[in-house]
Structure 1
Amino acid sequence: MHMARRTGRRPGNPDTRESILGAAREAFAERGFESASIRGIATSAGVDPALVHHYFGTKEQLFKACMNFPIDPAEVLPQVLSGGPDEVGERLVRFFLRIWDSPAGAAGVALMRSAVSNDWTARLLREFVTTQMIRHVLPSLTTIDQADAPLRASLVATQMAGLAMVRYVLKLEPLASAPHEVVVAAIGPNVQRYVTGDLGAAAAAAQRE
């Protein structure tokens, strides 16, 4: 009697995977995404660099695995922004609500809670927003002065992070239970101003730096 031959990638050893993830989280939090290396992470985890690639693929994929974020920004943000900048505020808020109100949003809520009380997680989240989100947003904002684009992107981040905290972590009513279109109508114009509106002295100061 011949046993059926198994195909596909073998499941990774949970202990090995967790060791790699632990070393990667520490490296990304301490050195940032750009400065952290697969070789350094592998050394800290006590494994061969090839094993890190085997389990997680690229450094970017490893970073995303560390964060356990509910979406892959590289895939979804270009789609949200592809309609042009004129209504990007409403599109971003509507998309944000759809993801965070879905079952996948629980991972984002857990991450926000941890970032509030844990500086290590906060540094990871800041690095994730900078390298995985803002990086994909800025190239799409072609109609604005690129000198103040980083400021605009970070202002959008403050609005979205505030919405996440109040609606999903604090669950402050009536915002916590408000229908999507009510939230979009109220917050979308604020996000739109951050993207394309006049920022006044703040934008001028950003261009001088």
Structure 2
Amino acid sequence: MIDSSAGGVTSTSSTRSGRRPGNPDTRRQILEAAREAFAANGFAKASIRRIAALAGVDPALVHHYFGSKDDLFLATVEVEINPRMVVEQLVAGGTDGLGTRMIGAILQVWESPAGASLVAAVRTAVGDPGSATAIGQFVTTEIVARLLRSMHHAPAEAERRGALIVSQVLGVVIGRYVLRVGALAAMDRADLVASVGPTLQYYLTGELPDPAG
């Protein structure tokens, strides 16, 4: 669970746990095919139809066992978090303070039981360009782009802001949880939220320099 009182949002894995487990061999085949497809094509280009073909099953079975493509991607890295629900709750809190709530929610996820799987996924991605692309595309399209969509930026502006947000967030989580960089790893979470939140808020809503300049 992510507690809104700690700068995050309330969420659980219950939205995914109700799906019937089904045949473990079929699930394993789909997961192996999904990992292969995401690594080879990235998140954006790996389709459910292609994953089903690699697994030798009907696409309906992929939906039956895992739901949407983002649910399937999360299953490949064993993370029991519904990003759409998290984003919806962040946006529902309004624009003011969104950057602080955003980094608070992210840090809570990384310090939850899901954190170990996330660290393992990032370490794998460091040596696997395909996996790194898939993770980057997933974070950009399924989390950051959804947050920015509520602010109605022009497409090019939203893309620029999204890239800055992703660079900041990934820099923090990799430095803190994967590389364990000195003071960053030791910093109290509340202090880190207070330090990073305003920067994310600026990337979300601030007036950025004119690219033409």
TM-score by length of 1: 0.81
Q: Could you tell me which amino acid in structure 1 is paired with residue 149 of structure 2?
A: P
Change (3 A) 1:176 1:70: farther
Work out whether residues 109 and 164 of structure 1, in 8 Å CA contact, stay in contact via their aligned partners in 2. Answer: no
Give me the identity figure in percent.
Answer: 48
Work out whether residues 70 and 99 of structure 1, in 8 Å CA contact, stay in contact via their aligned partners in 2. Answer: no
Report the Cα distance in structure 1 between the residues aligned to 2:172 and 2:89, rounded to whole angstroms: 21
Work out whether residues 148 and 158 of structure 2, in 8 Å CA contact, stay in contact via their aligned partners in 1. Answer: yes
Q: Does 1:14 align with 2:24?
A: yes
User: How many residues end up aligned between the 2 structures?
Assistant: 196
Report runs of 4+ in structure 1 exceeding 6 Å deviation: none
Change (3 A) 1:96 1:60: closer
Report the Cα distance in structure 2 between the residues aligned to 1:87 and 1:182, rounded to whole angstroms: 15
* SS in structure 2 of the partner of residue 47 of structure 1: coil
Structure 1 residue 102 displacement after superposition? 1.8
Report the Cα distance in structure 2 between the residues aligned to 1:85 and 1:149, rounded to whole angstroms: 15
Structure 2 gaps, min length 5: 1-17
Change (3 A) 1:83 1:116: same
Report the Cα distance in structure 2 between the residues aligned to 1:64 and 1:71, rounded to whole angstroms: 8
Task: Tell me how large the CA RMSD over aligned residues is.
Answer: 2.5
- Note the alpha carbon deviations across 1:128-166, whole angstroms, 9 max, x for none: 113311332122224x55540111112111111000011
Candidates 78, 92, 108, aligned match of 1:98: 108
Q: Could you tell me which amino acid in structure 2 is paired with residue 199 of structure 1?
A: L
Structure 1 residue 113 displacement after superposition? 1.4
Report the Cα distance in structure 2 between the residues aligned to 1:114 and 1:88, rounded to whole angstroms: 30
User: Partner of 2:210 in structure 1?
Assistant: 201
Comparing 13-22 with 182-191, greater Cα deviation is found at 13-22
Structure 1 residue 99 displacement after superposition? 1.7
Work out whether residues 77 and 137 of structure 1, in 8 Å CA contact, stay in contact via their aligned partners in 2. Answer: yes
Structure (1 or 2) with the larger CA radius of gyration = 1
Q: Could you tell me which amino acid in structure 1 is paired with residue 202 of structure 2?
A: R
Matches within 5 A, 1:39-58: 39-58=49-68
Q: Does 1:125 align with 2:135?
A: yes
Matches within 5 A, 1:15-30: 15-30=25-40
Report the Cα distance in structure 1 between the residues aligned to 2:92 and 2:66, rounded to whole angstroms: 29
User: Partner of 1:4 in structure 2?
Assistant: none
Report the Cα distance in structure 2 between the residues aligned to 1:82 and 1:38, rounded to whole angstroms: 30
Pick 1 or 2: higher relative contact order, CA cutoff 8 A, min separation 6. 2
User: Partner of 2:177 in structure 1?
Assistant: 168
Q: Does 1:116 align with 2:126?
A: yes
* SS in structure 1 of the partner of residue 112 of structure 2: coil
Report the Cα distance in structure 2 between the residues aligned to 1:105 and 1:10, rounded to whole angstroms: 25
Structure 1 gaps, min length 5: 1-7
Work out whether residues 67 and 125 of structure 1, in 8 Å CA contact, stay in contact via their aligned partners in 2. Answer: no
Q: Could you tell me which amino acid in structure 2 is paired with residue 28 of structure 1?
A: F
Q: Could you tell me which amino acid in structure 2 is paired with residue 136 of structure 1?
A: R
Comparing 66-75 with 167-176, greater Cα deviation is found at 66-75
